[in-house]
Amino acid sequence: MEQNFLQPIKIKVCYDEEVKKITGKDFDEPIISEGLSFPNFLYFLFSSYPEIQQKFPPGKLGFLLNGKKPTDSDILKDGDELKLIGIE
């Protein structure tokens, strides 16, 4: 009987100078399950750093996924790079 387990993947999350003031680091490299959507990852990220949402309400935080604006249907893949850009 074959088991279909989701495989772990690693992505890189880069923070600009404003977001770095909250995270205390330039980037994270979380290991997540394959098939995780961009919106679900944001929920995970904001759970880890709730101050990001407090400082940057909707419309005040930009995102780039591999250099392009992500969509709600984007699924994260191994090696993806997500950039968070705080908009003052």
Structure tokens at 86: 């705080």
- Cα distance between residue 13 and residue 31, in whole Å: 11
Please report the beta strands in 1-88, taking only residues with DSSP state E, as ranges in sequence order.
Answer: 8-10, 12-15, 27-28, 31-33, 61-65, 81-86
pLDDT tens, 24-53? 999 999 999 999 999 999 999 999 999 999
Decide: 51 and 22 in contact? Cβ < 8 Å: yes
H-helix or E-strand spanning residue 54: helix 50-55
Task: Name the residue with tokens 């098939």.
Answer: 35
Global pTM reads: 0.89
| Tens of pLDDT, residues 57-82 | 989 999 999 999 999 999 999 999 99
CATH numeric code, 8-86: 3.10.20.30
Instruction: Report whether 33 contacts 6 (CB < 8 A).
Output: yes
